[in-house]
């Protein structure tokens, strides 16, 4: 079964049928994190023992500072995919993230589904976010994660033209709507351990913000970040994405 989102994409990408891909293949290529059909993306290398913690949809005034405290407490660095409009509203928080040694990436300006967005708007979403982040942080942005993982060839092409590597993930659960820290941890550790058995590093997604409401509760996600570090710190190395490309 296609999810409602994937069904929407299926309806929206008729032009891609010209490439000769089956319709199911299009939805797969547009939405499935592991698909490389629309162009290569960074997920995780064959480096078992390495974990990248990545946090999407911030910065968030309520949750990001708590997360920074947790990461500092363990001396762990992470990657933050920031929503441009949130960054513009919280420039000091962006500077704190960078000053603490974390890596920041572009997560679009307003978090649309870029598989269904015009090429012109795709370019605006990515360019405006880069300009804002670079102005605040004073350094070029090298990584881009499409909202929902949704993409089509132009999305990846524009990202590369702007000097960014497109990034997806291989370990995610619905932490943004899961109140139980235990369940978030159980699902993520089973994915991480399975990747490990296959000889892969894990590119883990959690959310320190929300693209919909700034007041969203991210307590379970933040607690899960601390618990994951506790669980793996003795046996694994936590890296930022620039260690992999």
Return the active site residues.
Answer: 56, 207
Nearest distance in Å: CB 193, Zn ion? 25
CB 54 → Zn ion: shortest distance, Å?
10
Nearer to Zn ion, 45 or 112 (CB): 112
Tell whether residue 56 is a contact of Zn ion (CB under 5 A): yes
Q: Which residue has the tokens 């960054």?
A: 87
| Pairing outcome for strands 165-166 and 143-144 | parallel
Binding residues among 181-220 for Zn ion as defined by CB under 5 A: none
Q: Which is nearer to Zn ion, 148 or 232 (CB)?
A: 148
Rounded Cα gap, residues 172 and 214, in angstroms: 21
Q: Per 3-state DSSP, what percentage of the chain is helix, strand, and coil (rounded to 5)?
A: 50, 15, 40
**Which residue in 26, 44, 57, 225 binds Zn ion (CB under 5 A)?**
57
Question: What track of x and - describes contact with Zn ion for positions 135 through 164 (by CB under 5 A)?
Answer: ------------x-----------------
Give the shortest CB-60-to-Zn ion separation in angstroms. Answer: 12
Name the residue nearer to Zn ion (CB basis): 84 or 147. 147
Should residue 226 be labelled a site residue for Zn ion when binding is judged by CB under 5 A?
A: no
From CA 228, how far away is CA 224, in angstroms rounded? 6
CB of 106 to Zn ion, least distance (A): 11
The Cα–Cα gap between 88 and 237 comes to 32
Length of the chain in residues, anyone? 245
State the virtual CA torsion across 64, 73, 182, 111 in degrees, nearest 10. 20
Long-range contacts of residues 174-181, Cβ cutoff 8 Å, at least 24 apart: 175/205, 175/206, 175/207, 175/220, 175/221, 175/224, 176/57, 176/207, 176/210, 176/216, 176/218, 176/221, 178/220, 179/217, 179/220, 180/220, 181/220, 181/223, 181/224, 181/227
Asked if 175 is part of the footprint of Zn ion (rule: CB under 5 A), the reply reads no
To Zn ion, the closest distance from the beta carbon of 86 in angstroms equals 11
What is the total count of residues that contact Zn ion (CB under 5 A)? Answer: 3
Nearer to Zn ion, 16 or 171 (CB): 171
Nearest one of 184, 194, 169, 195 to 32, comparing CA atoms: 169
Q: Which stretch binds Zn ion (CB under 5 A): 23-31, 54-62, 98-106, 178-186?
A: 54-62
- Which positions touch Zn ion (CB under 5 A)? 56-57, 147
């Amino acid at each position: 079964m296609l999810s409602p989102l994937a069904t929407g994409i299926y309806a929206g990408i008729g032009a891609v049928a010209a490439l000769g891909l089956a319709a199911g293949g299009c939805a797969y290529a547009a939405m499935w994190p592991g698909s490389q059909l629309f162009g290569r993306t960074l997920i995780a290398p064959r480096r078992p023992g390495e974990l990248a913690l990545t946090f999407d949809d911030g910065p968030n005034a309520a949750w990001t500072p708590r997360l920074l405290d947790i990461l500092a407490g363990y001396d762990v660095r992470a990657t933050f995919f920031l929503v441009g409009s949130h960054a513009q509203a919280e420039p000091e928080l962006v500077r704190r993230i960078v000053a603490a040694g974390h890596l920041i990436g572009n997560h679009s300006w307003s978090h649309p589904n870029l598989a269904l967005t015009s090429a012109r708007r795709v370019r605006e979403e990515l360019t405006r976010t880069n300009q804002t982040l670079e102005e605040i942080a004073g350094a070029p942005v090298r990584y881009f994660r499409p909202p929902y993982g949704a993409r089509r060839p132009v999305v990846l092409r524009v990202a590369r033209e702007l000097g960014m590597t497109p990034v997806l993930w291989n370990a995610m659960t619905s932490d943004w709507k899961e109140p139980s820290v235990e369940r978030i941890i159980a699902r993520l550790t089973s994915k991480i351990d399975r990747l490990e058995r296959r000889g892969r590093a894990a590119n883990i997604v959690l959310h320190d913000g929300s693209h919909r409401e700034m007041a969203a509760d991210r307590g379970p996600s933040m607690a899960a970040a601390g618990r994951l570090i506790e669980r793996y710190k003795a046996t694994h190395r936590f890296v930022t994405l620039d260690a992999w490309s």
